[in-house]
Chain A
Amino acid sequence: MLTILFDGIAYGMLLFILACGLTITLGLMNFINLAHGAFAMAGGYITVVLMNSYGVSFYWCLLIAFLAVALAGLVLERLLYRHLYSKPHLDQVLFSVGLVFMSIAGAYYFMGGQQQMIQLPQELSGRFELHGVGIGRYRLFIILVCILLTIALQLLLTKTRFGSQLRAAVDDGRVARGLGINVSMVFALTFAVGSGLAGLGGAMGTEILGLDPNFPLKFMIYFLIVVTVGGTSSITGPFLAALLLGVADVAGKYYVPQIGAFVIYGVMVAVLLLRPHGLFSREGGR
């Protein structure tokens, strides 16, 4: 019982790492980026290739996945996404769905359709017992990384100059520009960090979520749930939403496997019905 809770929390934390970049692009910049999962998939494949073909250690792979995907995100933002911020939502949806389809086909072409496997380092595999609760080492690692990341992100957003510039740019881009803030650069950097986090999440999730070319579509709905249910006014909302989702999903699959993912979609629609702006949104927020 507690083991399931623990696994659920780890799963939720992983979802949070994956989705928190989307929180920013979708929630703050108001850009519907359905292709977020493609970035995560890229991170996963980078890890798989580096570890299996070049023998790079897992920890370096995580860092490289983050940096490489962040760079890819930056390039794509400058080349393509930038033009779409002011377009209607339909265009954004079409564009990002197109990107998802292309990434899926690309993954098939280069990597084949099979599930990818990685060998975790010795110290992260296996599990140990603590007061009767089975704790997977790798899941503990995910939780620790996620907590560190969350704190870092929270500090970055609230305490640094960059954070206040971002918040200003989001609140009113025109005024922020008038104050001398380079809004498009702030957005580009934010987008890069968000995609990089997705890449990191994808790299870490290879072991738990599995990795195959359909990854972006399979998890797109999960990311979207985290963001819409969590609301977009802070990163604590999505964090809690991700935890809830993780626990609910793991518990649901364990206790009532025959219903499957149905519960989650149902809960999501219900939440959106009752609180269209998310579960944890401020009153009067945008």
Chain B
Amino acid sequence: MSGARSEARKLATEQLRRGNAWRLYEVVLWIAAVAAIFLLPSKMLLLTEVAITALFALSLDLVLGYAGIVSLGHAAFFGLGAYAAGLFAKYAVAEPVTGLFAAAAVSGLAGFGASFLVLRGSDLTRLMTTLGIALMLAELANQMAWMTGGADGLSGVTIGPILGVFEFDLWGRTGYVYSLAALFILTFVARHLVNSSFGLSLRAIKANSMRAAMVAIPARNRIIVIYTIAAAYAGIAGALLTHTTSFVSPDVLAFHRSADVLLVLVIGGVGYLYGGIIGAVIFTVLRDWLSVSTPQYWMFWIGLILIAIVLVGRERIARWHTFLPASLQLGIKRFATWRPGVKLKESR
């Protein structure tokens, strides 16, 4: 009896470990991101934006893709982090990494509080509460002009050198390396999180919370934990924005930011960690390109893309590779799942 149990435990551990193993495409992605420092020195600001958007989308993915909570107000935590970092740098410590921790703490705390509101009710109620929280914060930031600068934004923020060593330069190179490092570390942590038994239990809750409860998964606690973590992530993303631009405006809390991040995530694919990163690359490049040709009507294109994605079907877009010829499909699969020393058959 106990033999069977330990056997099952061994199998499960093995499965979790295999799920957590690095894939080739991840390695390629990160190498490309690092190589960009040297290959695209003129695009540093754009790439910084990509990294920040990616982190923000990653945070939403934790909530939406893994726990299945639809949120229309995720910018609340992003903006809160941005303001927290700005105020922290202005009045307390100018060193950015400390600021990141401060922002994460503030946003995480807010997320912890908000998670109790999110627990209640259906999708619609969740939409409303998340949206309401974001709007409330935006209103607060606008009204508390003595602290946040109101509609003019928080100016006079000076960011010191990172860890007291690396000064932010004019071309945004330090900013990019800094954001990329944060993104890498946090993605690494999130990978461990979602590939652990904790991550599996979240998926179970998303699929069917009642059944999840039947196999003794404490849905409430799990959602509170993941929501808090995701809020902290969003806060860090906001703080990165503050640190790399030395400025915070109420725009960080605006509704379109919540909608944008949803779009980013949907473009890249919901429910796997790299969706946010890939989506952020596509989104930012697309925006850069479209804004140049039609600056005012960028919103039109976002809208069109959103509608097209929904009508075509998100699942179909996620399965885009199935429309390729079979030989190419096999190649992609090999490439995507290749790991040193493991043949394709075994990895399934």
**Residues of A with Cβ closer than 8 Å to B?**
26, 32, 80, 83-84, 87, 89-91, 93-95, 97-106, 108-109, 217, 221, 224-225, 228, 258-262, 265-266, 268-269, 272-273, 276-277
Contact = CB atoms under 8 A, between A and B. Distances in A.
A272 B300 contact: no
Contacts of A26: 124
Given A228-B125, A259-B143, A262-B143, A94 B132 contact: no
A228 to B, nearest CB: 5
Given A80-B311, A90-B70, A221-B135, 13 more contacts: A91-B310, A94-B263, A97-B306, A101-B306, A103-B303, A104-B303, A105-B296, A105-B300, A224-B131, A262-B143, A265-B135, A266-B136, A276-B125
Interface in B265-298: 266, 270, 296-298
A32 B310 CA distance: 14
A89 B296 contact: no
Nearest to A30: B124
Interface stretch (B115-123, B237-245, B331-339): B115-123
B139 A272 contact: no
B255 interface: yes
Contacts of B132: 221, 265, 268-269, 272
Interface in B131-165: 131-133, 135-136, 139-140, 142-143
A74 to B, nearest CB: 18
Contacts of B311: 80, 83, 95
B135 A261 contact: yes
A192 to B, nearest CB: 20
Give the 4 A-B CB pairs with smallest separation, nearest first.
A98-B306, A101-B303, A105-B300, A102-B303
B117 A273 contact: yes
Given A109-B297, A217-B255, A272 B306 contact: no
A89 B255 CA distance: 18
B129 interface: yes
B302 interface: yes
Contact of B143 (A103, A106, A260): A260
Nearest to B300: A105
Contacts of B123: 32, 89
Contacts, number: 122
B191 to A, nearest CB: 23
B200 interface: no
A261 B141 CA distance: 12
A238 to B, nearest CB: 14
Contacts of B303: 97-105
5 contacts: A91-B314, A97-B303, A262-B139, A269-B132, A276-B125
B309 interface: yes
Contacts of B205: none
A272 B124 CA distance: 10
B300 A94 contact: no
A87 B262 CA distance: 17
A98 B312 CA distance: 14
B121 A272 contact: yes
Given A89-B70, A262-B136, A108 B297 contact: yes
Contacts of B133: 265, 269
A112 B140 CA distance: 30
Nearest to A105: B300
A94 B139 contact: no
A249 to B, nearest CB: 13
Interface centre among A26, A101, A272 (most CB of B within 10 A): A101
A155 B132 CA distance: 34
Contacts of B44: none
B198 to A, nearest CB: 23
B307 interface: yes
B304 A93 contact: no
A202 to B, nearest CB: 19
Contact of B127 (A93, A106, A265): A93
A93 B143 contact: no
